[in-house]
Each structure stands twice: as structure tokens, then as C-alpha cells.
Chain A
Amino acid sequence: MDTIKIAIYGKGGIGKSTTVANLAVAFAEQGLKVMQIGCDPKADSTIYLHQGQPIPSVLDLIRNKGNDFALNDMVTEGYNGVLCVEAGGPTPGQGCAGRGIIAALDKLAEKGAYEQYKPQVILYDVLGDVVCGGFAMPMRDGHADWIFIVTSGENMAIHAAANIATAVQNFQSRGYAKLGGLIVNRRNVAREMEKVEELAEDIHSRIVGVLPHSPLIQEAEEQKATLMEAFPKSDMADCYRQLAGQILAVCREE
């Protein structure tokens, strides 16, 4: 099977990393080899896949060792065999995080990460909005084929999602990734589903899954684990499994 390459975008703080890490485990449960690449200078996308212990980011390795490091220095195997990578980036307020993502993803490809590990699913967890070229890198040709946007019914989340959808649309002529759909991470605000459905209609897309608000997610984080690891038999874990199935279905449509 061809590698399924997915980038997850959405407003900052909307729950992208939590969703991506749980999806990674859900895909792994299906026997798929999964690589999760955090594209955020904070380098904490995969943290609950390895008991809350930070891993060296690609950019830290480049900064400290030049090119004198191995592929497995960049890739750490986490829970359920999920391959964890963190792009990393500058300290807040300095440098260029967007350029950092480009350099990190280039280095990953240069070191042969995709050929060596042969992941069947690659998940790019991208920081916030598409504010510059660097944040569009995961949707460029050779990276993700599909974009999914995490949103709630909160107005700011919807505005960010609409903005990201516009960026995806603008890049269609370049053969960049296609918009797969919206993932609703519920915050239980008024008219939540109605507002997200309106958004889906406006951007000519669809809702591929709905994640209810669950206190178990925070409990799992207290245990420095994903919900899929800490509460695998919970209803919420089933929600992630169901979402993983729906995403795979979308990606296999074409």
C-alpha cells in the first residue's frame, strides 16, 4: 500500500497534538507503521508517546552536530511502535520557525527517513496557522497528500480553519495536498455542530469525525500518556479509533 501522508492543521490550542498522538496509536493498533512528525518549535507533539520525556529535535541536532548525526538520532520509537520525530525550532521571538520546518523536513528526507523506516502512515502535526512558507511545507509535494483541520465551534477556531482552507485551496494549482475534511474537537459551545457544518459548506468540505469533550484526556496527560495508552477501553479511545478509520477511508477514496 502507498504511504498515507496526512498533515493536521488548526488554531493553536485546539488540540491538534493530542488528536494526532491518539490517532497515531489508533493507526498503529491496526498494524500500520506510523511516523508522527511534530512541526512546532516547542517540540512537544509526540511527548506523551514516550512518557513525557523530551526527544532531541532535528534542528537541535543540526545546530549542535552539523551533519554529524545518524537517522536514528532524529527518530525515537514511542508507544506501540510509533516513530516520533520533532522538527524543533528557535527560542520564542528569534529566528525563523517556518524556515526551521523546511530545514528539518529536508534533513529528514536527506537522511533517508522514509526509505529506511518505510512508514505506512505519516502524520505531520503542524503549528497553528499557515502564516508563512515554512508552515505550508508539510502540504507541499512530497510531504502530505491530505490536510485535515481540527476545529471546535468557537469563532476563532472557525476563522483559523477557514484561513487554512483558503491556503490549501490557493495551493491547488501547485499540486499540493488536498483538504480531506474537518475534525470537530468539541468544546461544547452553543450551536457548535451547526457552526462547523456551516464552515464545511463554506469551504466545500466535510466533517470527517467528531471528538467529544472528555476529562479522560487530561487524566491521561497527568499520567504522561496518550488516552489510547492510558484508557484503551474507554469510549473516547473508540472515538479515536473510529476517526482513524474515517480518515483512512477518505485517504483511500482516490
Chain B
Amino acid sequence: MVASGIQVAQSVGFYIVAAMMVLFAVQVVASRNVVHAALALVMVMAGAAALYLLLAAEFVAVTQVLVYIGAVMVLFLFGVMLTRAKHGIDTDLNNKGWMFGIPVAMLMLGVTGWAVIDGWKDTTLPEGNGPIPTSAVSDSIFKPYLLPFWALSFVLLIAVIGAIVLARKD
């Protein structure tokens, strides 16, 4: 079934990246090794950045690589190291009631999946819009969404101060 508006090359790329992301995401929540889970999370983030490029969002893709793969993952690895996670296999990473997560996740996937499939049946993404220019993103941030941007600056400032206050030794 080849409908109009289905770009074959992009779709093949999407399915490869999506399969990789799902596999690594499962490893994040199922791995018995904390460092392996962190490295699997890096792969999920990288796949997400690739999908953002497919969605023509260049600036968000670059920001994803810089912030998540660059900064957040380093923070996570510091967190793993500083809390002296066991090296290698650690069998004590899950709760006693971990199996209750499976039906909850399945229910959530069922409901959201049904809503999505029912809501956007075979809507296709428009072709040929080209990448979203970064100037348009900055116009959007600094004109209609300036107030949230200010609020966000304060959130970041307070988060940094709070992290220092929490983590320093007196």
C-alpha cells in the first residue's frame, strides 16, 4: 500500500531509528548494570536527535545533542559513580513489586495508542516544507513566549543554586 505523501527513504530511516530507540529504552529500564543503563539512555537520546532532524527541527536536534548527550549524561554518570553503584551485575535494582509496572505500562500504552490511532488515522506529515529556520524559533521564543522564557531562566537559576546548597558539605 503506497499512498501519496509516504516518503519511502524517510520512512525506512524512521523505522530503523525507532526500533533502535525502543530496544535501548527497554535496556534502560531492564538492565542489571547501572552504567549500561546510562549508556543505553545515550543511544535513546541520539535516536531522538535523529528523529528531530527527520522532523525538520534542526535547532532542537542540536540542542538535544548538546544538553542531553553532552551535559545530562555526564551528570548521570557522575551520579552513578558518586553513589558507588556496584560494578557489573547488580541484582538489587528493582522494587519488590516491579511486576506491577508491566500491567500499568501496558494499560497506558493501550489507552494512548488507541487515542492516537483513533485521532490521527492516516494523517501524513506535509512534504517539502524544508527545515524550520532557527530565526523562526528565536522569533517565537523572544516574541510570544518571552514571559515563559524569563520564568525558565529563573527556574534554571534556582535549580543551580538549589543543587549547590543541597550537595555542598558544611
Mutual binders A and B: no
Residues of chain A at the chain B interface (Cβ within 8 Å): none
Residues of chain B at the chain A interface (Cβ within 8 Å): none
